[in-house]
Chains A and B, each alone.
Chain A
Amino acid sequence: MNFTINVWRQNGPKEKGGIATYKVSNISDDMSFLEMIDVLNEQLIIQDIDPVVFDHDCREGICGMCSMFINGEAHGPGRGVTTCQLHMREFKDGDTITIEPFRAKAFPVIKDLMVDRGSFDRIIQAGGYVSVNTSGNLPDANATPIEKQDADAAFDSATCIGCGACVATCKNASAMLFTSAKVSQLSLLPQGKIEASERVMNMVKQMDLEGFGNCTNTGACEVECPKGISIENIARMNREYLSASITSK
């Protein structure tokens, strides 16, 4: 397969960026999108052009690093996949493919397609944990009964890989889906309930400080999320935050 690639090139955080156009040929339809970029980069190196910088690590949909906005969608046209899980057979031979970095004020571009998602880490640091002693005589994990429904829901929320597709997709660059998944995975479980009010207040505060947008409930995030995180999480966070801010002193 042959493609025309329009890709965002930007030398550094403060530099002005723009779209550059390259051609790639002899791409197998079994290649992943990242492998196609690898081919492009080898070609660029031979031509003495700087290769396109992009984030990636696991290449199997679990690390959440491969942030790319492809043809106007986070992680491209596939559903329930990250960029590394997207195959070139999703495109037609001869297509023009536009690739941009995930865009949000809170995700500044480092270089080309690579962005700094440290804002997510700071949201986690603000409350995405449970304070428990991890040494000494720990109670047996199965001694605390947990309803199956809650365990399942907490597990579903915990599958969020922090990729940032929700932010990239949202017309408001809102981080509600990510933050609410991180709030939910803990607050649904008995160990997490203890700090639930404080957690939701602190995490939302940090989310606002980072400069993410607000939620309009368009639902785009849950469509583009590679892990199928549902906006039920957002409703849960809205609920928890409302009661926490009414009852907190």
Chain B
Amino acid sequence: MNLSGGLIRSSLARKYWMALTGLFLCSFLVVHLIGNLPLLTGNKEMFNSYAHFMTTFPLIKIVSYLLYISILLHSVDGLLLARSNKAARETRYVKYNGKANASWSSRNMAILGTLTLVFLIIHMKSFWYEMHFGNIPTYMSGDGDELKDLYSITVAAFQQPWYAVFYVISMMGLGFHLWHGVSSSFQTLGINHAKYTPIIEMLGKAFSVIISIAFASIPVYLLLS
């Protein structure tokens, strides 16, 4: 198998990895969103046992390593691609009318991705790091499990207005990233068909709007309640 040339280093291969990791991250977003819904219903017990389950169940542990690798690969590959794309045009145009032929989000994937990366780092420091290595107060649940009270930490964090605003802006960035990204990944993997591509594009855009608004609604709700 022509690994180094064909499936790792070539320009096409690097896009296959972007698409595969990107789609995997999309599937994670869905799981993550469902897990967070108890924040909207104020169900502290459900949220904390979900967090407990996610950090301790062995199978989830394996998937979580896949997730860390995907974020790393997607970010590093994405930024390297952006760098080589810049290098492919040494002299800039004096006048370049980008909006004449391509959508805004498709032209700004690297900036939107970087915004998402900054968000991810801050987000993981606040919750993932605290959950794994921080000192979160614990209590005994009804089922006799010792649970970390991530719920109260989360609610407290989102009641700081700047933090909630930062979340909403980041989710808009992610939304635009996916507005182009979801259908783009199908094209990258070679899936383009006169009958199905318009449907894929529509579903991709719907996904990006639903995901970003749903995530953004959590801090807004907690801030206002």
Q: How far is the CA of A73 from the CA of B92 in the complex (A)?
A: 13
Contact B2 A241 (CB under 8 A): no
Across the interface, A212 reaches (CB within 8 A) one of B10, B88, B184, namely B88
Across the interface, which residues of B come within 8 angstroms of A17, CB to CB?
91
Chain B residues near A234 (CB-CB < 8 A) = 187, 192
CB distance from B138 to the nearest CB of A (A): 46
List CB contacts (< 8 Å) of A162-218 with chain B. Answer: 169, 171-174, 201, 204-205, 207-208, 211-218
**B88 to A211, Cβ gap below 8 A?**
yes
Contacts of A235 in B (CB 8 A): 187, 190-192
Q: Which residue of B lies closest to A6 (CB)?
A: B94
* Cβ contact within 8 Å between A100 and B95: yes
Q: Are A219 and B88 in contact (CB under 8 A)?
A: no
B88 touches A217 (CB 8 A): no
**B85 touching A204, Cβ below 8 Å:** no
- The reply to whether the CB of A130 lies closer than 8 angstroms to some CB of chain B is no
Question: CB-CB < 8 A to B13: which residues of A?
Answer: 245
Q: Is the CB of A219 within 8 A of B106?
A: yes
- Which of A32-40, A42-50, A58-66, A103-111 is found at the contact surface with chain B? A103-111
Q: How far, in angstroms, from A100 to B95 measured CA to CA in the complex?
A: 8
Contact between chains at A105 and B90 (CB < 8 Å): yes
Q: Which of B12, B87, B92, B100 has the most CB of A within 10 A?
A: B12
Q: Check A100/B94 contact, CB under 8 A, given A212-B88, A218-B103.
A: yes
The residue that B88 contacts in the complex, of A19, A174, A232, A242, with Cβ under 8 A, is A174
Cβ contact within 8 Å between A242 and B192? no
Q: Report the separation of the CA atoms of residues A78 and B180 in the bound assembly, to the nearest whole angstrom.
A: 25
Q: Which of B87, B98, B187 contacts A238 (CB 8 A)?
A: B187
Determine the distance from Cα of A171 to Cα of B81 in the docked complex, in whole angstroms: 12
Instruction: Specify which chain B residues have a CB less than 8 angstroms from the CB of A77 in the assembled complex.
Output: 100
A214 engages B2 (CB within 8 Å): no
Least CB distance, A212 to chain B, in whole angstroms: 6
Closest to B109 in A: A216
B188 vs chain A, min Cβ distance (A): 6
Across the interface, which residues of A come within 8 angstroms of B125, CB to CB? none
Question: Which residue of chain B has the shortest Cβ distance to A107 in the bound complex?
Answer: B89
State whether B107 touches A104 (Cβ < 8 A). Answer: no
Q: Which residues in A have their C-beta under 8 angstroms from that of B191? A: 235, 239
Pairwise interchain contact B89-A73, C-beta atoms closer than 8 A:
no
Does residue B126 face the partner (Cβ distance < 8 Å to A)?
A: no
Q: If the complex has contacts A173-B85, A213-B85, are A238 and B12 also in contact, measured as CB distance less than 8 A?
A: yes
Decide: A231 and B5 in contact? CB cutoff 8 A.
no
- Chain B residues contacting A219 (CB-CB under 8 Å) are 101-103, 106
When the two chains form their complex, are residues B187 and A213 in contact, meaning their CB atoms are under 8 A apart? no
Q: Which residues of B contact A208 (CB under 8 A)?
A: 10-11
Given contacts A73-B97, A103-B89, contact A215 B15 (CB under 8 A): yes
Which residue of chain B is the closest to A240 with respect to CB atoms? Answer: B190
Q: Which A80-129 residues have a C-beta within 8 angstroms of B?
A: 98, 100, 103-106
Chain A nearest CB, measured from B34 CB (Å): 29
A70 to chain B: closest residue by CB: B95
B residues in contact with A239, CB < 8 Å: 189-191
Q: B94-127 toward A: CB 8 Å interface, digit per residue (1/0)?
A: 1111101111001101000000000000000000
**Most chain B C-beta atoms within 10 Å of own C-beta, residue among A71, A217, A244:** A217
**Shortest Cβ distance from A7 into chain B, in angstroms?**
10
Q: Are A171 and B85 also in contact (CB < 8 A) when A241-B12, A245-B2 are?
A: yes
Is the beta-carbon distance between B96 and A172 smaller than 8 angstroms? no
A213 touches B12 (CB 8 A): no
Choose among B1, B5, B14, B106 the residue that contacts A249 (Cβ–Cβ < 8 A): B1
Is B2 a contact of A248 with CB atoms below 8 Å?
yes
In the complex, chain A residues whose CB is within 8 Å of the CB of B6: 201, 241, 244-246, 248
Known: A73-B100, A211-B87. 17 other contacts (CB 8 A): A72-B97, A72-B100, A73-B101, A103-B91, A104-B89, A105-B87, A171-B107, A173-B88, A201-B2, A208-B10, A213-B84, A215-B11, A216-B106, A217-B106, A218-B102, A245-B7, A248-B1
